[in-house]
Structure 1
Amino acid sequence: MNFRTGGALIALQLACMPAAFAQAQTDPAAAPDSGEQIVVTGTRERARTQFDTLAPVDVLSNAMLESSVSGDLNDTLAQLLPSFNVQRLPAADGQAFVRPATLRGLSADQTLVLVNGKRFHRSALLGTRGAQAPDLAAIPAHGIGRVEVLRDGASAQYGSDAIAGVINLLLDDKPGMAVFGQASSYYAGDGNEYQGGLRGGIALGDRGSIVFTGQYDHAEATSRTRQRPDAIAFQAANPTLAVPNPVQRWGQPDQERIAGSVNAHVDLVEGATLYAFGTAQSGEGVTDFNWRNPVGTASVYGASSAFPGFSFTKLYPAGFTPRFGTRFADHQAVGGLRGDASDRFHYDLSVSQGESRIDYTLGESLNASMGPNSPTSFYLGRLTQREFNLNADFVYRLPVGLGDPVNVAFGGERRVETYRVGTGDPASYAVGPGAATGLAPNSNGFPGFSPAQAGQWSQRSYAGYVDLEWAPIEKVTLGAAGRYEDFSAFGDTFTYKLAGRFEPVHGLAARLTYSTGFRAPTPAQLNTRQVTQGLDTRTLQVFNQGRLSPTDPIAVALGAKPLKPEKSRTLTAGLVGQTDFGLGATVDLYQIDVDDRFGQSATFAVPATFANPDRFTSVSYFTNDFDTRTRGVDVVVSYARQVGPGKANLSLAYNYNETKVRGGNSASIANATQRRIFQERLPQHNATGTFNYDLGKVGVMVRGRYYGAWTDVTGNSTGELFQRFGGIALFDASVSVHVTKMLTLRAGAENVFDTYPAEATNQANRGLIYSRNAPYDTDGGQYYGRVELRF
């Protein structure tokens, strides 16, 4: 694959972990005497640990992040956190490259992502049911010091999107140098992946530090495919033609990316620290679409009076498989000033800007309606998401004369979010003269963005918040937060959170939170329309579907209404315990009610009173579809101590998660397909267990992962098809050797026993073997080797 960086990739600023409070990493020197690690997510109190937080927080170290073979942070988190799911989605347009990830079974954009405590921008892609979420793969894992995952609603503390929780990626800020190289391959002999990274940290005397990270990843395609039955029949009937076997590939895309980060801070004067940090990535990829059979694909190979004597069999006599390509780039830069104005008053003033840009291309295709004048490759257009934030955060330690001081955090935020759709080549969206005789318009496989789809839309919001924490007596901690936010697109909203923690005996505590939350519809969801093309799994005919803006005249005629924010109510109750002999455990029950949940309407035929130049077989629109209730339990157990001559570390985590539809508008209640997708598309039972044993210079890791039963859905021109899959267990193992203090070698395998799920039946006639919607890797076993140098 030809890799282009597009000129400027990593012109980054920036750096450090804000110090003592709001949305920032606390100075490790502020840790309590127990030596436990400070937790900074979900709290603005400067000395909280994982044990004494008011809500459950998972902490994942850099070593844990680098224990996964994948170069995609999504895959790593999915292996370590059973409440976090990510799908592969091969041959799924842009979702093959920007994959949807969910926390507690909620939508991908109902989890807020932070970097060093600051909001990370969304991807330009609208994914499953229109969810527009950040792309975690844009952040180099090699540059992350640790990850904190808050499993609780936090809109009152952080604003929109934090319905399911918060993922806070804290960049490494330690001096020193580290280099790694890794190679991996699947047991099947494909999917070779090559990774390399460099991290260098420099201390700026005793006044600060700057850390640079660069990471490269090249992943070759996989294929878990059988030859299509219609391709076998076509080859038998045309023995003189060379029909590829397989004619189309189902598997991971061919992909290459380079990413980097910078994290820096310097103390200007006493009480004032200048900080800056940022991330950037650039890359490209390609994946296959459905093969077009010369026999039976009438909308492509059919005769047309517009082009007498012409047939596309002259161009593609053995059929063709469109190759969908993407070039993507992300960057985010944050700068600010923080410090202590006094012993009691802390401040953090910051500005950030982020952008996601995606360009799409299509090769080995055509626009059938243009006949002999059609090109065979197309530029399809560009999607751009841009965000600009101004934040002012303060903390005041208010003495009250009883118990500890009240930690009073308060501040404000101004956000501007802009979405842009740029047009593709005219031929990619053209409706040529052959359309009137039944030939398909637009570039075949993925229609380009037309002037009717193009445009730029913005939304502004202003917010103010107050966040209180107080320990009135030694055994009790109380918390309360409130946030007011006003959006230019739909008006204002107010959310709040109440929390408490009671530790009746040392080492055992109960905690309880109740919060309201919201997720604001984005400019992309409010204003854009899209044309998608599919292949009917029964007739193997190409069909077009339209997803319209809720304000589109056709959508309005079909019942569409302006989008409203999703609103939530979350109740979490848990027990947390820790011992002096290395055993710790947490159990947290939760219930999340989401009203006006965002989704996609049922499909409709275009009314006869409207023109249909794109020849839609059906159309749909975004809507506030369902009211849902998600209930579940998280159990986490950890144990670390000396066992025999070595040190053992065991961690077990289990998540049960069930979503039910409580109600909705009359149209959505009748939409049984969307209801079933909400309730069954992800496993209800997930578990992971990791055992590490270090003996001298040798370390052994064994991990088991379990994914429960789930339901697959396949879109079709006549509706959706479903298939239920049972649970599956996968096992990973590795051995590492510290050859010297600087050099470490590691070898291992994921899915050691080469386990595959049951085969997917609804798309077998397209050559697909395993479901493309699976919440785990379906490519079988994968082995790898890794070399690390630390200076």
Structure 2
Amino acid sequence: MAAHSPLVMAEDDAAAKDKDVEKIAVVGSRAAPRSVGESPVPVDIIGSEEFAKQGNSDMLNMLSTLVPSFNVNTQPISDAATLIRPANLRGLGPDQTLVLVNGKRRHRASVISFLGGGLADGSQGPDISVIPSAAIKQVEVLRDGAAAQYGSDAIAGVMNFELKDDADGGMLEAKWGQHYEGDGAAEQVAGNIGLPLTQNGSANFSFEYKSSDPTDRSVQRGDAAALIAAGNTAIADPAQIWGSPEIKDDLKLFANLKLDLGNEKEAYGFGNYAKREVEGGFYYRNPTNRSGVYNGPEVNVGGTVYDTLLVGDMTPDDAAGCPIVRLDANGIPIASDLAVVTADPNCWTFAELFPGGFTPRFGGIVTDSSIVGGVKGKLVEEVFFDFSTSYGRNEAAFAINNTVNASMGADSPTSFKPGTYVQSEVGVNFDVYREFAVGFYEPLVLAGGVEWRQDTFEVKAGDPASYEIGVLADQGFGIGSNGFPGFKPEAAGVFSRSNLSFYSDVSAWVTEQLMLTGAVRYEDFTDFGNTTNWKVSGLYKVTDALSLRAAAGTGFRAPTVGQTKVLNVTTAFGVNGLEDQATLPPDNPISVLKGGKPLKPEESDNYSFGAVLDLGTTHVSLDMYRIDVSDRLSQTSPLTLSEDDIQTLLDMGIRDALSYSSILFFTNDFDTKTTGADLVVSQDVDIGTGQSKLSLLLNYNKTEVSADPLTTNIDDVKIKTLEENLPKTRGSVTFNHSEESWRGLVRLNYFGSWWEVDDDYDITTGMNEGSKVLVDVELGYQLTSQLEVSVGAQNLFDTYPGLNPYGDSVGAKYPTTSPYGFNGGYYYIRAVYTF
């Protein structure tokens, strides 16, 4: 018997028939959907009502509350990860969990998370946030590797989002909330309606529209405060904002259609369209020492050594030259020097445009769409089939404002469109299965199929000003939009690969107590060859109440086309402090010089063993697992470029190499071992009146990195981040009670201790944060049979992580990768009308 999720068991069997929760899982087998009670691997089913009992309006945040081993960070200053936040299951990368919708593979997002809080750096997973909770009937979480059934990415597990398919009825929802601090206000309206599609079909439509204000949990940076004290009044307070980004016009549409074709066949189709604009903060550019913009050479005047501003000659061919601008002991430009430069139209310093420095605002517009269509049913007598085709597309059009292309000097704009990433995927599936009477307790089910997929990653060049090599490029000024240089035409292109796979799946109740399953999959990719993976699992009923289960298998994750071909420059903390880091393709000559090699698939070995106890009103499951991943794919640690390296780049015609402090590239450079356990307990509680349920979810997860520092390009900081940035222990205790017209919920969320690297990228001085418990509450009242109003609070007692000991230098009041965020308490009100 599989694990009974307490979220599923919250309703008794009679009530469940009237709900849209089904104890039937699509994931875990290529055969017919089976009851979770007959699954030899743990499958949790989360019903739609569990998503409704939350103030969160983002699918990622909702899942992190309901699935303890699922983690997502706020991503306050995270480059492209600000647009599409990465999430982690069982401490593995975001692209090591396979996401399905209605049992069909969901396409990846176009964004590669170059700054993903450490653990997710370099990942390219799907954008789960485009799925509105109003469209969800249930979410199935398969907590086991399943690459033998589904192919690439299913190392940590599988999440399947089943869409509502009702032919009548619907709901409308309005929600508003904000943080205790008075910021981050979010407004949302959502709805769902089911309509008949002929006599035996359905057309179900869902929408969601929301907006969310930014938050600010910053302190004034020490360098900015010192300049203000010295007399520079042009600096903002705070100079740099750490907080959740602003989300504008977030629209999500989903449709799910089914049509009975007769003769035991059904046509189906579903798809989505989503669009949102996101804008977040970036790092402050100090007006005295920011290289490539402000920081000039030291000069000796009359025996006194001065720091200077970087001054550019806009007409270098006239040989007239420009005077220097000295800085006083406090870093303030000497007024008389600055006046001379300002008065000369041929000379330029960015102190004229941004005398207090500047902080770019980074974001963009994310557009996501997909369509899936197919036919399933009886092919011939006793043979069932499912044929489908799919297309998915995700586009991220980047924008950066309040910044400059320093090499253009006085001619630089302050807003740029640095380019666009596009990920598109096409898939064709044909699955069949049949039952055979072979003398077992139940017929043997044999399934198989073939799948063809094509993945395409496209890079579109930015506007010319975002990458232009301006007149000041040879005078020490940086090239491209500062903070996120635009994609140059030579970096743009369309890159594709395809793969063909064949797979088989067999399962049977051999005896009344013993169920066995097996699967094998062969997959051939056009870029790196083929791979074969297998899985076996079994379930044994010791008694009617106690079952044991176990599984073993292999898995893999193919490097994405984007990880193979992408070129990007971003600003991040490294060994030299804040620096421009270039991510290059692994076959770039400089990457090869630093050890870059062609990418190959990650490979995994998965093992799990568990027990399930079902005593009617008490359900307990305990599952232990181990996931070994070899040749794990990630970005390298920042690799400092020497003067010779930079000269090599210049000789190759890469003139903006002077702006690079270090490079990174994708590499299969280390192995990891992840061990853990999941405990799930659900208990009906009799308190004398109404209905009550107590649920416990607990996950322990430990990752160990195996890497030889003499042969790899990841350093101790990267290793420690992979091992300790997420809590090893996470859990929740939830109490639900309903009585007559009202209901209540109290949830305790536990987060174990974790570690975050400091701004100096120093392993010896990082932040060690202790464990915390956050409390969520909600109270709902049924005003009429169709209208319910609820109020609630998440993080009721306004719990924060400890103060950031390095906040003075980076401007962040709290650790930025906190697994429970750093925005504090959030309260909300919601009204739902059903019909």
- Fold-level similarity (TM above 0.5): yes
- Tell me which of 96, 116, 125 is aligned to 2:111: 125
What is the match of residue 370 of structure 2?
Answer: 332
Deviation at 1:767, TM superposition (A): 1.4
- The 2-side partners of 1:584 and 1:44 are apart by 27
Deviation at 1:244, TM superposition (A): 2.4
Deviation at 1:283, TM superposition (A): 0.8
SS, match of residue 485 in structure 1:
strand
Question: Are positions 1:700 and 2:744 aligned together?
Answer: yes
- Tell me which of 607, 613, 623 is aligned to 1:571: 607
- The 1-side partners of 2:403 and 2:765 are apart by 28
What is the match of residue 23 of structure 1?
Answer: none
Deviation at 1:546, TM superposition (A): 1.2
What is the match of residue 406 of structure 1?
Answer: 444
What is the match of residue 560 of structure 2?
Answer: 522
What is the match of residue 542 of structure 2?
Answer: 504
Deviation at 1:206, TM superposition (A): 4.0
Q: Is the 8 A contact 2:573 2:759 kept in 1?
A: no
Q: Which runs of 4+ in 1 moved over 6 A?
A: 535-539, 717-721
SS, match of residue 586 in structure 2:
coil
- Tell me which of 54, 57, 62 is aligned to 1:76: 62
Using a 3 Å threshold, how does the CA distance of structure 1 residues 641 and 718 change in structure 2: closer, same or farther? closer
What is the match of residue 562 of structure 1?
Answer: 598
SS, match of residue 510 in structure 2:
strand
Question: Are positions 1:764 and 2:808 aligned together?
Answer: yes
What is the match of residue 657 of structure 1?
Answer: 701
Q: Is the 8 A contact 1:626 1:665 kept in 2?
A: no
Matching residue's letter, 1:583: T
- Tell me which of 428, 441, 452 is aligned to 2:466: 428
SS, match of residue 611 in structure 1:
helix
What is the match of residue 22 of structure 1?
Answer: none
Matching residue's letter, 2:140: E
- Tell me which of 569, 592, 595 is aligned to 2:627: 592
- The 1-side partners of 2:639 and 2:400 are apart by 28
Matching residue's letter, 1:140: P
Q: Is the 8 A contact 2:757 2:763 kept in 1?
A: no
Q: Is the 8 A contact 1:638 1:649 kept in 2?
A: yes
Deviation at 1:319, TM superposition (A): 2.2
What is the match of residue 105 of structure 1?
Answer: 91
Q: Is the 8 A contact 2:518 2:535 kept in 1?
A: yes
Deviation at 1:233, TM superposition (A): 2.3
Q: Is the 8 A contact 1:754 1:781 kept in 2?
A: yes
Matching residue's letter, 1:777: G
Q: Is the 8 A contact 2:23 2:45 kept in 1?
A: no
- The 2-side partners of 1:116 and 1:543 are apart by 44
Q: Is the 8 A contact 2:187 2:210 kept in 1?
A: yes
- The 1-side partners of 2:106 and 2:588 are apart by 30
Q: Is the 8 A contact 1:517 1:567 kept in 2?
A: yes
Deviation at 1:42, TM superposition (A): 0.6
Aligned residues: 755
SS, match of residue 341 in structure 1:
strand
Matching residue's letter, 1:41: V
Report percent identity of matched pairs: 37
- The 2-side partners of 1:528 and 1:275 are apart by 36
Structure 2 unaligned spans of 5+: 1-13, 114-119, 295-308, 315-321, 323-340, 342-347
Q: Is the 8 A contact 1:324 1:361 kept in 2?
A: yes
- Tell me which of 121, 126, 130 is aligned to 1:138: 130
- The 2-side partners of 1:666 and 1:524 are apart by 28
- Tell me which of 601, 606, 612 is aligned to 2:636: 601
What is the match of residue 248 of structure 1?
Answer: 240
- The 1-side partners of 2:708 and 2:229 are apart by 52
Matching residue's letter, 1:685: T
- The 2-side partners of 1:89 and 1:163 are apart by 24
- The 1-side partners of 2:171 and 2:447 are apart by 37
Question: Are positions 1:376 and 2:369 aligned together?
Answer: no
Using a 3 Å threshold, how does the CA distance of structure 1 residues 544 and 662 change in structure 2: closer, same or farther? closer
- What is the CA deviation profile of residues 328-356 of structure 1, one whole-angstrom value per residue up to 9, with x for unaligned ones? 10011100011123562111100000011
Of 612-621 and 383-392, deviating more is 612-621
Structure 1 unaligned spans of 5+: 1-27
What is the match of residue 153 of structure 2?
Answer: 161
- Tell me which of 665, 672, 685 is aligned to 1:628: 672
Deviation at 1:67, TM superposition (A): 1.8
- The 2-side partners of 1:726 and 1:665 are apart by 29
What is the match of residue 753 of structure 1?
Answer: 797
Q: Is the 8 A contact 2:219 2:807 kept in 1?
A: no
Question: Are positions 1:220 and 2:264 aligned together?
Answer: no
- What is the CA deviation profile of residues 449-498 of structure 1, one whole-angstrom value per residue up to 9, with x for unaligned ones? 11232111101000010000111111110000000000001000000000
What is the match of residue 317 of structure 2?
Answer: none
- The 2-side partners of 1:490 and 1:517 are apart by 16
What is the match of residue 753 of structure 2?
Answer: 709
SS, match of residue 517 in structure 1:
strand
Q: Is the 8 A contact 1:587 1:634 kept in 2?
A: yes
- What is the CA deviation profile of residues 27-78 of structure 1, one whole-angstrom value per residue up to 9, with x for unaligned ones? x9xx9xxx97212211244362222211001110101112221211111110
Using a 3 Å threshold, how does the CA distance of structure 1 residues 89 and 511 change in structure 2: closer, same or farther? same
Using a 3 Å threshold, how does the CA distance of structure 1 residues 678 and 549 change in structure 2: closer, same or farther? same
What is the match of residue 740 of structure 1?
Answer: 784
SS, match of residue 466 in structure 2:
helix
- What is the CA deviation profile of residues 164-197 of structure 1, one whole-angstrom value per residue up to 9, with x for unaligned ones? 0000000011221100000001000000000110
SS, match of residue 75 in structure 1:
helix
Using a 3 Å threshold, how does the CA distance of structure 1 residues 381 and 70 change in structure 2: closer, same or farther? same
What is the match of residue 264 of structure 1?
Answer: 257
Q: Is the 8 A contact 1:617 1:717 kept in 2?
A: no
What is the match of residue 11 of structure 1?
Answer: none
- What is the CA deviation profile of residues 512-536 of structure 1, one whole-angstrom value per residue up to 9, with x for unaligned ones? 1001000001111111121112467
- The 2-side partners of 1:190 and 1:105 are apart by 31
Deviation at 1:677, TM superposition (A): 1.8
Of 162-171 and 550-559, deviating more is 550-559
- The 1-side partners of 2:764 and 2:122 are apart by 17
Matching residue's letter, 1:391: N
Matching residue's letter, 1:572: S
Matching residue's letter, 2:398: Y
What is the match of residue 313 of structure 2?
Answer: 306
Question: Are positions 1:67 and 2:53 aligned together?
Answer: yes
Q: Is the 8 A contact 1:673 1:720 kept in 2?
A: no
Q: What TM-score do you get using the length of structure 2 for normalisation? A: 0.88
Matching residue's letter, 1:154: A
Of 529-538 and 102-111, deviating more is 529-538
- Tell me which of 279, 283, 291 is aligned to 2:276: 283
Query: Superposition pairs for residues 388-407 of structure 1, below 5 Å?
Result: 388-407=426-445
- The 1-side partners of 2:709 and 2:556 are apart by 19
What is the match of residue 518 of structure 2?
Answer: 480
Deviation at 1:673, TM superposition (A): 2.3
- What is the CA deviation profile of residues 638-671 of structure 1, one whole-angstrom value per residue up to 9, with x for unaligned ones? 1235541100012111000011123458432872
Q: Is the 8 A contact 2:403 2:482 kept in 1?
A: yes
Q: Is the 8 A contact 1:737 1:746 kept in 2?
A: yes
- The 2-side partners of 1:433 and 1:534 are apart by 27
Q: Is the 8 A contact 1:537 1:765 kept in 2?
A: no
Deviation at 1:601, TM superposition (A): 2.0
- The 1-side partners of 2:538 and 2:38 are apart by 11
SS, match of residue 723 in structure 2:
helix
Q: Is the 8 A contact 2:759 2:810 kept in 1?
A: no
Deviation at 1:750, TM superposition (A): 0.3
- The 2-side partners of 1:710 and 1:149 are apart by 25
Matching residue's letter, 2:311: S
Q: Is the 8 A contact 1:304 1:434 kept in 2?
A: no
